[in-house]
Structure 1
Amino acid sequence: MLPLRYLYTLLMYLATPVIVLRLLTRGIRYGSYHQRWPERFGLFPAPGLNGSLWVHAVSVGEVNAAEPLIKALRLAYPHAPLVITTVTPTGSERVRQLFGDSVFHVYLPYDLPFAVRRFLLRVRPRLAVIVETEIWPNLYFACRRRGIPLMIVNARLSERSMRGYRPARGLVRAALRCVSLVAAQSRTDAARYRVLGAPAERVVVSGNLKFDMPVPAQAKVDGEAMRDRWGRLRPVWMAASTHEGEELAVLEAHLEVLQRLPDALLLLAPRHPDRFRLVEHLVRNLGFTAGTRSADRVPAAAHQVFVIDAMGELMPFFAASDLAFVGGSLVPIGGHNVLEPASLSRPVLVGPHTFNFDDITQTLVREGGAVRIESGDRLGAAVQQLLRDAPTLGQMGRCAHDVFASEQGAVQRVMTLVDRMLQE
């Protein structure tokens, strides 16, 4: 196993020039990011921490999933410093929005031995908590060498990810043996971690943290205010977290909807900030009367499409919608979080590719809270049919919320595991 690990580390070093070039490119795209890229090599002023609780959440979705757990950790261990790491600038911004200066945020270092060593010496964690699926061999080996308990919580592993790990199966198995505990979202995820090499006795099923995410009361208030603004009888649907290749299908679907429901409104939220302007141009070039969150704040009666060009602000718009299509599912991205609309009793539409949230999505479809469409050209008919059937919309919304409510409790189960780990 040692030669394979050395080969992996050598490849990481050889990739460093490409990594630096990518950092410079991302710095151009995300403004101040270039000032912080040394953090990716463990270069940042030591914050003077000792015995910190470290939570790693790669990007926005993982930060949102980790939110209730981080709040529970802060409540249970008020004197322990909290360290949150992310990989993406959008994830970093979400940490700032949720927690401000109450936590220490830094970017996760690349999996280079010297960078990992610097990082661990600066934050001095008492416990490492990795959210969902981030397997970095050198980081894991370093935690074991320093006696830092390492947990993977809300752990999920798709069939596609398992195939991706196959070429380095031996190295991944060795890395997973450094993990003290894997708290999986579902039995399927737990089984896949065992197949990948996690010791069976260290894998448990704790449920999905996203079922415990807080539903902001203000989101409902803001959603109601928007409905009052444009008229409560107006048909409104939302396309959330869309990717390249999906917006055109969504806008073509909206054209179909407008033929039967001429006052319908589409709320369109692209997944990535660097595509906000591109999507806005696409909407306007197709002839829609459009508004944006940055320019107009809220939709007006005249808008046919409203582009939500902001991060972390989807909940009020879900609350203002009659139903929601969740993106990343018409293209093979694997789908995004279907629980946000479900938590607000909103029916859900998804495409064929939902392997990132497979168990949740299947449960929602089976229980009547979601509908799966086969392709983008079926989206318009599905939206139109549901918007014209208020009783079905209401029933689907209730079913979606029932699924959401029935699965809650993962945070408490994970906190029990954390307490036990810290006591040991």
Structure 2
Amino acid sequence: MTRWTQRTHKLMWYFLYNVLLLLAAPFILLVLLAKKRCRRGLPERLGLFGLFGLAGLFRRFGQNESDRPNGLNRQDRPDEPVIWVHAVSLGEVVAAVPLVRALHVRYPTYRLVVSTVTETGREAVERQLAGVAEHCYAPLDFPWVVTRVVQRLSPTLFLFVETELWPNLLRALSRHRVPSILVNGRLSSSSFRGYRLVKPFFRQVLETVALCLMQSDRDAQRIIALGADSARVLRTGNVKFDQPLPDKTSGATTLSRRTIAVDEQEELIVAGSTHPGEEEQLLDSYQRLQREIPSLVLLLAPRHIERAAEVESVVKARGLLAVRRSALGQSEGASFQPGLPRVVILDTRGELAGAYRHAVLSFVGGTLIPVGGHNLLEPARWGKPVFFGPHTDHCAEVAELLVRAGGGVQVRDGQELTAEMARWLRDRSGLRRKGEAARQVVLDNQGALERSLQLINTLLARKDERSMTDSTSRPRSVGGRSFHSSFRIHHSSFLRWPLLVLAFPYGLVMRARAALYERGWLPKRSLPCRVVSVGNLTVGGTGKTPIVILIVEWLLARGLRVGVLSRGYRRQTRTPFMLISDGRAILAGPAEAGDEPYLIARRCPGAVVAVGADRFKLGQWVLERFPIDCFLLDDGFQHLALYRDVNLLLVDASDPASLQALLPAGRLREPLSTAARATAILVTRADTAAGSNPVLEPIRKATGLDSRPILIRFKAEGFVDVLTGGIEENERVSGRTAFAFSGIGNPNSFQTLLADQGIKVLDELVFPDHHVYTSADLRQVRQRAEACRAELVVTTEKDAGKIVSLLNQKDRFLALRLGTEILEGRERLERLVLGVTDRNDVGVCA
């Protein structure tokens, strides 16, 4: 076959793959939107950086005059080369943790970024690799998305764990001369059969992979059979053998017996990573074993903790006491009568590996049913005998090693599991020997991590000098960039039509959702007091928080009891409801509350502020504790499940481009026609030169309504000393030089306000909206401020609450306090908020 023919075949396969992918795109998007656990990372997976707070990864996603990336690497660390590690979900993250930690030690000048697909993977990265690596969501394999991500991140090396073969991503990395290494690779029987159906295509895909480091001989043979160059395939072993035992420093949570209400006289059977169809068999085994040994307690850890309620129902149906780990909390006071049959349901993340420590017997799920099995090494590391079923395709080599060494017991079904567990519970000395044999299997097979690191080091050394040269040539990013420009529809951009194709099904879903609520087919619930909603149609900063603060101040000034209900975006707590302020004191910090609710609580000390995803239930929860006259619904325009008396819609006059297209092609959350739901339209930053008409005209065309807007501008009310809380008047900072940094939705507005006060910004750092600051961030702020010899270091009041704990006594940081001025329509807005309306105040029509 000639080279030209080979190239033609390659292009044909990729063309066919991308045509099928594009045809499937609407269905992929609908499926991901339907899955609650997939929604959070979806914008980032579509390549929309910054607006959704990419956890400290990308700064601003804007176009620059030279068309160079504005957020290529973190702007405060522009000279650091990047190693990108992809681990799809929790299991792959567990395998990657020792590798990433070792890379951090060996390459301290490199920045490590770990991408995942699932929420469980994200949580594991943030928990176990805090301070070591940053997290981002892996891009969907659309060519325009992966190209954008590769260009923005500009990695020096790409490592992917356990055979996640994404053709367009690997091709984009290859085209940018970024070597890709498959680490801890494995191919299950089902995956191997699927890939073989399109073997000619995957032969082309595997040509883009520099090294395939496989777990076993079987895995190496399979990937060679798919077309990988045998010279690039090496058997290095399974890095999970090198996983350290959980401890307080590893980032994993370790349980004590008391925290799961198991006393020293009781014995624990731990069944981890279980699936439907297995729990029933395990409960049968437990009930039979418990009749013989009354001191036995069963701990069930479902593979997907969202199934905890289902598992609890199954347990209770057997007449057994079900105790959820989350209900026990961190207290050690709970206790139960010894010998009482009960099942502890582990419905928390990150604790299973530590729970095996307390087991007398351990079982690993996904093996009694044809799933393929999960991590058999977690109990083996603690020296526990490992019981598992016949379906071990995903962990076949480990299962074979454990059985051969006498550290594992493989059974055919639940009945045999009962018999084998009873047998070894009667032979305690034999049981201890089996546990020691299991631990010895782990020790004897360690070394895969070091072998992998040596090969990575060899490949990286070839590229390191050129990569470092390229990275040092990247210019630093400073102020004056257009934050929103890259989200406009550029008619010359090749991204326009693919993104519009994706926007079409998204628009259909949002229109259908609105229609279902409007016709009453989806229920809309009411709270027994007045509700005023403040929201917007777009992602990004329209100035919603200062408007909420203004309205709360109005209501409090009239003696009303006010509650603010917020989602608490990017808060680090997982409780359904959290009280941020009881109207007398602030009860949670910005990390627990979310930065915007925390700022509202600080600025409005008389208001009750609470956060939770379900605003109706949150409102009921607040009303059970406090008398409330009026609720403010923060960012509530799309929260259609809750009835509101007043629906205020914000649009930003400085950013008419935000109204051009729906996500992901633009920044509209909903079609423009849904603006008809608004009681009133508030045009923020209406003091721009173009005025309000550029944003009002498209709304008029979409709704058929001639809106009578309320015009608003923002102004600097002063500067707050972040450490002391003291106020600096605007006049005292005017004419001085400053270093500015912020993590807000519209950083250009912050820069404009500083310029309006006569402050000359010498240098600037722009973080994503809702950024969680670290000590490293603040060190870089100090260094950059000192380097440019700025007289002031200035940030926003929203950011101030998040950095105060990181400052030292020598720091003198100022936060700009934002005020709101209503240019037109103040009386009308007051009447709407207070419920004093006339016929002209109904709807958005004049």
With the length of structure 2 as denominator, give the TM-score of the two structures.
0.48
Q: Which stretch has the larger CA shift, 233-242 or 390-399?
A: 233-242
Task: Give the distance between the partners of 2:159 and 2:326, measured in 1 at CA.
Answer: 35
Task: Give the distance between the partners of 1:121 and 1:102, measured in 2 at CA.
Answer: 23
Q: Deviations over 1:293-338 (max 9, x none)?
A: 1001478444611000011111221001111110000111100001
Task: Give the distance between the partners of 2:298 and 2:424, measured in 1 at CA.
Answer: 14
Q: Which stretch has the larger CA shift, 89-98 or 278-287?
A: 278-287
Partner of 1:136: 166
The structural deviation recorded for 1:256 is 1.2
In structure 2, relative to structure 1, the CA distance for the partners of 1:397 and 1:85 (3 Å cut) is same
Structure 2 residue 211 is the aligned partner of structure 1 residue 202: no
Partner of 2:39: 34
Q: Deviations over 1:24-60 (max 9, x none)?
A: 1223xx3xx5343111112113344163100000100
Query: Residues 240 and 377 of structure 2 are in contact (CA less than 8 Å); yes or no, is this contact kept in structure 1?
Result: yes
Task: Give the distance between the partners of 2:178 and 2:205, measured in 1 at CA.
Answer: 14
Structure 2 residue 385 is the aligned partner of structure 1 residue 385: no
Q: Over aligned residues, Cα RMSD in angstroms?
A: 2.0
Q: How does 1:242-281 map to 2 (within 5 A)?
A: 242-281=274-313
Partner of 2:807: none
The structural deviation recorded for 1:233 is 4.2
Q: Which stretch has the larger CA shift, 302-311 or 389-398?
A: 302-311
In structure 2, relative to structure 1, the CA distance for the partners of 1:221 and 1:177 (3 Å cut) is closer
Partner of 1:331: 369
In structure 2, relative to structure 1, the CA distance for the partners of 1:203 and 1:300 (3 Å cut) is farther
Higher-Rg member (1/2): 2
Q: Which stretch has the larger CA shift, 272-281 or 397-406?
A: 272-281
Q: Tell me the matched-pair count.
A: 420
Query: Residues 114 and 133 of structure 2 are in contact (CA less than 8 Å); yes or no, is this contact kept in structure 1?
Result: yes
| Identity %, equivalent residues | 40
Structure 2 residue 23 is the aligned partner of structure 1 residue 14: yes
Q: Which stretch has the larger CA shift, 41-50 or 318-327?
A: 41-50
Letter in 1 for 2:236: S
Partner of 2:92: 62
Q: Which stretch has the larger CA shift, 208-217 or 398-407?
A: 208-217
Task: Give the distance between the partners of 1:94 and 1:230, measured in 2 at CA.
Answer: 26
Letter in 1 for 2:49: F
1:164 to 175, 186, 194: 194
Query: Residues 265 and 295 of structure 2 are in contact (CA less than 8 Å); yes or no, is this contact kept in structure 1?
Result: no
Q: Secondary structure at the match of 2:172?
A: helix
Q: Which stretch has the larger CA shift, 132-141 or 220-229?
A: 220-229
Partner of 2:401: 363
Q: Deviations over 1:70-124 (max 9, x none)?
A: 0011111111111110011111111111123542211111111011011111211
Q: Secondary structure at the match of 1:68?
A: helix
Task: Give the distance between the partners of 1:305 and 1:228, measured in 2 at CA.
Answer: 10
Structure 2 residue 130 is the aligned partner of structure 1 residue 100: yes
Which of the pair is proportionally richer in helix? Answer: 1
Q: Which of structures 1 and 2 has the larger relative contact order (alpha carbons within 8 angstroms, sep 6+)?
A: 1
Unmatched segments (≥5 aa) in structure 1: none
The structural deviation recorded for 1:399 is 0.1
Structure 2 residue 327 is the aligned partner of structure 1 residue 295: yes
Q: Which stretch has the larger CA shift, 361-370 or 284-293?
A: 284-293
Q: How does 1:301-316 map to 2 (within 5 A)?
A: 301-302=336-337, 304-316=342-354
Letter in 2 for 1:201: A
Partner of 2:461: 423
Partner of 2:153: 123
Q: Deviations over 1:235-280 (max 9, x none)?
A: 3211100011111111111111122112211010000122111111
With the length of structure 1 as denominator, give the TM-score of the two structures.
0.94
Query: Residues 127 and 150 of structure 1 are in contact (CA less than 8 Å); yes or no, is this contact kept in structure 2?
Result: yes
Partner of 1:399: 437
Structure 2 residue 82 is the aligned partner of structure 1 residue 52: yes
Q: Deviations over 1:361-386 (max 9, x none)?
A: 10100100000000123222222222
Q: Secondary structure at the match of 1:125?
A: coil
Letter in 1 for 2:454: T
Q: Secondary structure at the match of 1:331?
A: coil
Letter in 2 for 1:4: W
The structural deviation recorded for 1:191 is 1.1
Task: Give the distance between the partners of 1:228 and 1:36, measured in 2 at CA.
Answer: 32
Unmatched segments (≥5 aa) in structure 2: 1-8, 51-57, 60-70, 74-79, 463-846
In structure 2, relative to structure 1, the CA distance for the partners of 1:23 and 1:229 (3 Å cut) is closer
Task: Give the distance between the partners of 2:253 and 2:146, measured in 1 at CA.
Answer: 44
Task: Give the distance between the partners of 1:74 and 1:236, measured in 2 at CA.
Answer: 37
Task: Give the distance between the partners of 1:69 and 1:57, measured in 2 at CA.
Answer: 11
In structure 2, relative to structure 1, the CA distance for the partners of 1:105 and 1:221 (3 Å cut) is closer
Partner of 1:76: 106
1:181 to 196, 211, 214: 211
Structure 2 residue 243 is the aligned partner of structure 1 residue 213: yes
In structure 2, relative to structure 1, the CA distance for the partners of 1:182 and 1:420 (3 Å cut) is same
Query: Residues 318 and 324 of structure 1 are in contact (CA less than 8 Å); yes or no, is this contact kept in structure 2?
Result: yes
Query: Residues 246 and 254 of structure 2 are in contact (CA less than 8 Å); yes or no, is this contact kept in structure 1?
Result: no
Task: Give the distance between the partners of 2:314 and 2:116, measured in 1 at CA.
Answer: 31
